[in-house]
Structure 1
Amino acid sequence: MTNQLAKEIYEIAHLTGEFTLRSGQVSSEYFDKYLFESDPVILSKVAEELFALLPEGIEVLAGLEMGGIPIATALSLKSNIPAAFVRKKAKEYGTCKLAEGTSIVGKRICVVEDVITTGGQVILSTHDLREAGAIVTDVVCVIERNPEGRSKLEEIGLKVHSLFKMEELLSAGNVR
């Protein structure tokens, strides 16, 4: 199913033009992750495939704001592993939590992200989760856009599990 899923993601989410990425890089190609995350059929297939990538012993799926949240939710439904929803910054009112949902303290966490380019947000969130008492060892993502991101994440002790590398999506889209 993985090749077919790559083709479906490419067809629904691949855009061309000029796009500035979160990293500041400019790209002529862009995957609008919200287009596949908002499609229940494709999101269900993504969760099914990511489930096979989850390491043993994960206690909480930590979906990063905002794109990782629907993926973590779908993956939680598939795996029966509780989810936490991680803000970019702890809210300054109410509970003042960084991670909403299930408790992360002392738990083995797998960060869930949609697209990893440089790994910047995963690095920041992993630091915050570790400061909050979580044991963060792994990250799963749907699209690994650039190997630079993987290298930076491995430098902080994360194992990266990606469903697709950018080249795989592009080649799936070029098969007619």
Structure 2
Amino acid sequence: MTDPSALAHAIDARCRLHGEFVLRSGAVSDEYFDKYLFEGDPALLRRVAEAMVALLPEDTQVLGGLKLGGVPIATVVSSLTGLPAVFVRKKAKEYGTRRIAEGGDVDGRVVTLVEDIITTGGAVRNAAMALRDNGAHVSTVVCAIDRSAPDDSVLPAVQVATRSVLTKADLDAAAG
């Protein structure tokens, strides 16, 4: 079993960068959290995936990794559990298979979404709704880090519960 405090320290040490960074909003910050650094580190990625396994609902039939950050995590969780994984696009391609989810069928199956970081839940909401339109039963997302502020998540409105390995508060405490 992964110690959450030790995992928070390891992720924070690997991903919290100091310097001058332009944020998505256009603001400049002296600190930046680069989530891809833990996803690109095999040992750290495995620790996150192992912690996620314990959070999966028992009725999960398929893991749905959200593009881009949820894909490597879902792949490792799939390897650890033997559950099949699909990879969920932001929108279906207009060519080829034209699917929203690549890698397998979701119709009639219980899909647990897998995401790296949730801030408001907008991408998760969109993926849940798209998968439901394709016949999937989606009611849970498991994420590595939930950094949403209280009452900011859009997920309760679409009946999607969030289970997280770590929160922003966990990472801030680790940096403290």
The normalised TM-score by structure 2 is 0.91
Within the alignment, does 1:147 sit opposite 2:149 as a pair? yes
Match of 1:20 among 14, 19, 23: 23
Give the percent of matched residue pairs that are identical in Structure 1 and Structure 2. Answer: 45
Which residue of 55, 64, 71 corresponds with 1:53?
55
Contact conserved, 2:113 with 2:140, CA < 8 A, in 1?
A: yes
Q: Is the 8 A contact 2:119 2:153 kept in 1?
A: no
Give the TM-score, by structure 1 length.
0.91
Identify, as 1 or 2, the structure richer in helix. 1
- 1:64 is matched with 66
Do residues 85 (structure 1) and 87 (structure 2) align?
yes
- What amino acid maps onto 2:94 in structure 1? E
Give the distance between the partners of 1:149 and 1:27, measured in 2 at CA.
26
130 and 164 in structure 1: CA distance in 2 versus 1, 3 angstrom threshold:
same
- For residues 113-155 of structure 1, what are the alpha-carbon distances to aligned partners after superposition, in whole Å with 9 as ceiling and x for unaligned? 1000011111111111111111001001011111357641111
Amino acid of the residue matched to residue 165 of structure 2? L
Q: Partners of 2:17 and 2:167 in 1: how far apart?
A: 16
CA shift at 1:103, angstroms? 1.1
CA separation of 1:108 and 1:120: change in aligned 2, threshold 3 A: same
Q: How does 1:103-142 map to 2 (within 5 A)?
A: 103-142=105-144
State the SS of the aligned residue for 1:53.
Answer: coil
Q: Which sections of structure 1, spanning at least 5 residues, go unmatched?
A: none
Partner in structure 2 of residue 161 of structure 1: 163
1:26-52 deviation per Cα after TM superposition (whole angstroms, max 9, x unaligned): 584432111000100000100110101
Q: Would you say the 8 A contact 1:117–1:149 is kept in 2?
A: no
Q: Which residue of 1 aligns with 2:44?
A: 42
Aligned-CA RMSD value: 1.8
Whole-Å Cα distance in 2 between the matches of residues 158 and 27 of structure 1?
A: 33
Aligned-residue offset at 1:172:
1.1
- Partner Cα distance (2:27, 2:150) in 1: 15
Counterpart CA distance in 2 for 1:101 and 1:150 is 32
Task: Please give the secondary structure, in 1, of the residue aligned with 2:166.
Answer: strand
Partners of 1:26 and 1:57 in 2: how far apart? 43
Structure 2: gaps of 5 or more residues:
none
How many residue pairs get aligned? The number is: 172
- What secondary structure sits across from 1:92 in the alignment? coil
Equivalent residue letter for 2:174: A
